Structure 1
Amino acid sequence: MKSYQEILNYLYSQLPMFQRTGAAAYKNTLENTLALDEMYRYPHREFKSIHIAGTNGKGSASHMIASVLQEAGYRVGLYTSPHLIDFRERIRVNGEMIPEEEVVTFVEHFQQINKIARLEPSFFELTVAMAFEYFRKCRVDVAVIEVGLGGRLDSTNIITPEVSLITNISLDHTNLLGETLPAIANEKAGIIKPGVPVVVSETDENYQAVFENKANETKSPIYFADQEYSAAYSMFLPEGLQLFNFNKGKKPAFPELKTDLLGSYQRKNISGVLKTLEILREKGWQISRDDIYRGLAGVKKNTGLRGRWEIVSNNPLIICDTGHNEAGLKLVIEQLRNMAWKKLHMVIGMVNDKNIDGVLALLPPEASYYFTQANIPRALDAKILKEKAEAAGLSGKVIPPVKEAVSEARRNADVHDLIFIGGSTFVVADYFS
């Protein structure tokens, strides 16, 4: 039997991996996914599922729903991507990562049986197959499945879920999904299945009709969650929780609802989560109000989620966030501007297929910058990032290794300053690793 590290080396180096190489690893067909599903005797048919797509927030929403379902007593599979530190973060059952030996066993078995089939799956295609087979083996009651990229052609899109959730749409991966919001929405709408309810977290006139037309075509009930559940503001509590008062319409629905996810943008995600849970309850799922309160208050504890407005240190305050496109980083910057700090230090790195200039235009010019780059092929060269940043009126140093950039920021910060680490999921991952 090969070692776990040898298996990881195979997954990372032998299979095309979007997170590392970008568009070259993207498959515009479900052919391999369907072949793998047949090879493993259709494991996804043996558990119920919830499918979650969107540009931003789909990871947070997936973890929230999984946490609530765990509190309700269900055995819950959770498939998300990418991981921050350990590959096994992608595949969890009741918050516990898939064991190393299960990863080794699955991949070695695949390599053996594939000598006949001779499939050439991508990293993501094989990882989805691994997740579905592991969930079947663990006899989960339900699996919460996060879409990797897009929706229509995503490897996860062979499931028929209890409910589909689409968090929001913004311009990201435009080279693969389309240059306009309606085009991207059309790809995300691909997870809408015949007769299956679909929840859209955020109403937007730029793409609302795309979802309505698709739902009409598939005869799927459609709900725009922010038209039902809303919270005007949030408060941060001393015990490290964020408090919301959610109304349904104009009436109180979930007063003093708390979550351990501290990004103010979670207000948008929670609307979609609450509507999704409401639909599950209407379908007979045993989910109490107490389950919802406990589940949202204990997302990180129950699921292991990290990197969403995570406070990693105090004096100086250090916060990291995996927001990595214009829409996501706009909300992060708004929250930074609403905080008290003497001086702001920004440790920033990006990948090379984003709208770099659009993101840089959002960043605060008064901050001190430490331009860095994650240890992946897709990372934008820190020197190029600095050149583009200077053109946008930002100034700072080039320190390519992420941890060295953070160390330099700490040396320059006093106890009343704030250090932010982000710009890319992979920058946050390098900091944690």
Structure 2
Amino acid sequence: MNFGLERINSLLSKLENPHLRLSVIHVGGTNGKGSVTSYIDSILIKAGYKTGRYNSPHFLEPRDSIRINGVPINKESYQRVRSRIEAINSASNIGATSFELLTAVAVCCFDDEKVSIAIIEVGLGGAKDATNLFPSPLVSIITTIGMDHMEILGETIDLIAKEKAGILKPKGKAVFAPQIPAVQQILVDCAVKIKCDEFIIVNAARWIDGNARMQLEDGDFDFHVPLLGDFQLDNVATAVTAILSLRKHISEFASITYCHIKEGIRNTKWPGRLEWIDVSPVLGGSYQRMLVDGAHNIPALSALRSFIDNHFDESKPIHWIIGIKNGRDISEILRLILRSHDSVYAVTFSDVEDMSWVHPCNPDLIADSAKGIHTDMFAKSSVNLTNAIQNAITRSKDDAGITVLCGSLYLVADLYRLLKLEA
């Protein structure tokens, strides 16, 4: 991959620099970026603002990564803007990557739609990411940082943290999700070095009688969190902290109330992440649910395993449907999530539009690796996803186990297409 800001800046200059006309919240980090952007988006929509949101990677198709008031832009608008940008890219011989083109499309759509605020998720890393083109974001957010994309960002957590901190801006406002101490110190040092006006270290929320609670300056704040997983306490607290910073410092957003925040959080959706999905259309029978999670790296898969351990009897087997992107450490992933009485159905996933470098690993390698970890484990590479679901659900009915699909968001997207679900 060829990173850097030269191509995206050259492309946007040909488009009269629409990014300079946007008010932006910029969100980087390793895990939780999508959830944090979704919470913020939902809160701002509830408060009456017109929002643009850009997430990556896309889910079902590239245009669903670009949303106006929470809804993907329509195909006609997407194609019209995309064609115009591709023509400029070609005529000027800029050589923009597919992600840079998509980022330019998002920026132009938000400018065309005159959104009140754009919530932009970093694609990969920070300093050299194509989204790092806004000179003065209203707030720069860094979610939890972990080990991922080491071949690009660096082999140590220190190097990764410094790269992620590259989205911070002089005289800007920054919000840091709860981090391990070493990472927190790096982020603080970077904020001080570039002279951020303010940086806030988020205090995590905690569960109280099924709801989340944050301690704020004016007292406890309780609210319902619809997304599953204890890690959402960090994500939602980060989003709320960013909204409060926005409300405090930018007069345009001073009217946001705690009621807007509560209701916005309550209405938040983030598909394919710790989500129970009814797969009965595949089975041709009555309601049957399966736990689905796009977790693909070690921190996210560890959180998935913790969720299962905390909510289900450990004696119950888990019947895993797993697809993994090529290049991942299969053995490390499986050692983390598998127990000896589990079963594995290894599958592939479809080609990903505009991401020709993404390929699934061979399902036989997944099945063989699972057997190598637990020699008596049932593990097979299935013919297709439908077959894997049918077999895994059958086993879960026989032994009162649970069926879980994970390993790649691209696999979750295939499930959505199979069930004809909307993102």
Q: TM-score, normalised by structure 2?
A: 0.88
1:10-409 map, 5 Å: 26-159=1-134, 160-220=136-196, 221-226=198-203, 229-232=204-207, 235=210, 243-248=211-216, 252-255=219-222, 257-283=223-249, 284=251, 285=253, 286-300=255-269, 305-313=270-278, 316-340=288-312, 342-365=316-339, 366-376=341-351, 377-393=358-374, 394-399=377-382, 401-409=384-392
Q: Could you give the per-residue CA deviations for residues 251-280 of structure 1, whole angstroms, max 9, x where no partner exists? A: 85212x112212232111112112111101
Point out where structure 1 has 5 or more consecutive residues left out of the alignment: 1-25, 236-242
1:246 deviation in Å? 2.4
Task: Write out per-residue CA displacement over residues 360-418 of structure 1, whole angstroms, 9 at most, x where no aligned residue.
Answer: 12113121111112123521111111222222225411115333312221233318432
CA deviations 1:328-366 (Å, max 9, x no partner) are 111111111222364421111111222322221211312
Q: Which moved more, 1:120-129 or 1:400-409?
A: 400-409
Equivalent pair of 2:344/2:370 in contact (CA under 8 Å): no
- By how many angstroms is 1:316 displaced? 4.3
Instruction: Tell whether the 8 Å contact from 2:11 to 2:89 is kept in structure 1 after alignment.
Output: no
The residue aligned with 1:11 is none
RMSD of aligned alpha carbons: 1.9
The worse-fitting range, judged by mean Cα deviation, of 392-401 and 138-147 is 392-401
CA distance in 1, matches of 2:191, 2:123: 21
* 1:423 matched residue in structure 2: 407
Deviation of 1:144 (Å) = 0.3
Q: Which amino acid aligns with 1:246?
A: M
Tell me if the contact between 1:349 and 1:371 (Cα under 8 Å) persists in the aligned partners: yes
Q: Using a 3 Å threshold, how does the CA distance of structure 1 residues 208 and 383 change in structure 2: closer, same or farther?
A: same
Query: Alignment partner of 2:369: what SS?
Result: helix
- Contact 2:127–2:163 (CA under 8 A) maintained in structure 1: yes
Q: Judging changes above 3 Å, is the alpha-carbon distance between structure 1 residues 293 and 232 closer, same or farther for their aligned structure 2 residues?
A: closer
Query: Counterpart of 1:413 in 2: which secondary structure?
Result: helix
**Following the alignment from structure 1 to structure 2, what is the Cα–Cα distance between the partners of residues 149 and 234?**
37
- Spell out, residue by residue over 1:178-200, the C-alpha distance to the aligned partner (whole angstroms, 9 max, x if none): 00001000110000011111111
Q: In structure 2, what is the Cα distance between the partners aligned to 1:73 and 1:334?
A: 37
Count of aligned pairs: 393
| C-alpha contact (below 8 Å) 2:145/2:179 kept by paired residues | no
Q: What is the alpha-carbon distance in structure 1 between the residues aligned to residue 53 and residue 381 of structure 2?
A: 38
Given that residues 202 and 268 in structure 1 are in contact (C-alpha distance below 8 angstroms), is that contact kept between their aligned partners in structure 2?
Answer: yes
State how far apart, in whole Å, the 2-side matches of 1:344 and 1:34 are. Answer: 48
Identity of aligned residues (%): 30
The one-letter amino acid of 1:333's match is: R
Tell me which stretches of 4 or more aligned residues in structure 1 moved more than 6 Å: none
1:7 — aligned with what?
Answer: none
TM-score, length-scaled by structure 1: 0.86
Q: CA deviation at 1:28?
A: 2.2
Distance in 1 between the 2:408 and 2:383 partners? 14
Aligned to 2:354: none
Query: 1:35–1:174: structure 2 CA closer, same or farther, 3 Å change rule?
Result: same
Q: Would you say the 8 A contact 1:323–1:329 is kept in 2?
A: yes
SS of the aligned residue for 1:206 comes to helix
Q: How far, CA to CA, are the matches of 1:79 and 1:400 in structure 2?
A: 35
CA distance in 2, matches of 1:125, 1:337: 40
Q: What are structure 2's unaligned runs of at least 5 residues?
A: 280-286, 352-357, 418-423
Worse overlay, 171-180 or 198-207:
198-207
Superposition deviation, residue 425 in structure 1 = 1.0
